[in-house]
Amino acid sequence: MDNKQIKEVVKTTYARIASQEVTLNKSSCQCCADTKKEELLQMTDSYQDLDGYLPEADLGLGCGLPTEYAAIQPGDSVLDLGSGAGNDVFIAAKLAGPSGWVTGIDMTPEMILRAEKNVKKYAFENVIFKLADIENLPVADDTIDVVISNCVINLTADKKKAFKEIYRVLKKGAHFCISDIVSRGQLPETLKKSAELYTGCLAGALDEEELRTMLLELGFEKITIHKEIQSAVDEELLRRYLDDTELEAFRTSRAGFYGLTFSAYK
């Protein structure tokens, strides 16, 4: 897929998710309602004990808890990339308090509508959602204290541009805290190119070392991994994309997918 095709596949998939019941989203993977999510991605964390958690905003699409390590302070200006129905935004809003402000960015109109319904229902006054592409943020330079994102940047077509935008909008000395999928080792090309696995967050995963190099080249520093969860991808699912030879090579290479929650400073 080229960049335009990737974007359309992701947008179509997440528009459908936004229209589904929360219970269906949590029982299925992001890419197809008839595949159990745990077969594709076994790295979700529970939000239920976090202050500000709203069950109707949790579509079960994350791969970590970025707000847990984001060090959001009262009065902070926070930006959530790929905000969905607002799950991380509402928790960040609780942390930032009435003197702070949280902006959620999502490229799917259906997600924005769902998030705005939650804003009205719970009368949030320090939250706004904007329809936009995270590769072209409608945010002024040097204005954000903390950027957060949860299992979204791996879905972008141009990840370097997305991180460049994060760097642009952060204040000097400010930071991001992101939960996302990375890969380690050599992945078979069929896994990298599958649209189904892309929308399920695996095929679009960046190599961890490439990610670190990219962040340093863009000017980020103090890169810290706060939490790591290894994904156990179901063998039956892998056999849909790999023949016996490819599957054996994949096993012996010890390649795999990991959910990382990590931060870095401008």
The rounded mean pLDDT for the chain is: 81
* Bridge partners for 219 per DSSP: none
* CATH number assigned to the domain comprising residue 142: 3.40.50.150
**Segments forming the whole domain that contains residue 185:** 3-265
Q: Are 115 and 92 in contact (CB under 8 A)?
A: no
Q: Is the overall model pTM greater than 0.85, yes or no?
A: no
| pLDDT band at residue 13 using 50, 70 and 90 as cut-offs | low
Q: Residue 162 has what DSSP assignment?
A: H
State how far the alpha carbon of 48 is from the alpha carbons of 13, 21, 212, 223, in Å.
Answer: 26, 18, 31, 28
Q: Give dist(CA 104, CA 90) in Å, integer.
A: 10
Paired sense of beta strands 221-230 and 256-265, if any:
antiparallel
Tens digit of each residue's pLDDT (9 = 90 or more) over 100-119: 999 999 999 999 999 999 99
Number of compact structural domains in the chain:
1
What pLDDT does residue 42 have? 45
What is the pLDDT averaged over residues 216-221? 98
Tokens (6 digits) for 49: 């004990």
Instruction: Reduce the secondary structure of 73-113 to three states and give it as a string.
Output: CCCCEEEEECCCCCHHHHHHHHHHCCCCEEEEEECCHHHHH
Higher pLDDT among residues 244 and 102, named by residue = 102
Tokens (6 digits) for 215: 């962040």
What pLDDT does residue 196 have? 52
| pLDDT band at residue 207 using 50, 70 and 90 as cut-offs | confident
| pLDDT band at residue 248 using 50, 70 and 90 as cut-offs | confident
DSSP of 221-253: EEEEEEEEEE----HHHHTTT--HHHHHHHHHH
State how far the alpha carbon of 35 is from the alpha carbons of 88, 231, 254, in Å.
Answer: 25, 16, 25
> For 180, phi and psi rounded to 5 degrees?
-160, 170
What is the pLDDT averaged over residues 125-147? 97
- E strands of 125-252, at which residues? 127-131, 144-150, 170-184, 206-207, 221-230
Q: Which residue has the tokens 């090309």?
A: 189
Q: Give dist(CA 1, CA 177) in Å, integer.
A: 29
3-class SS at 197? helix
User: Of 12-21, 129-138, 195-204, which has the strongest mean pLDDT?
Assistant: 129-138
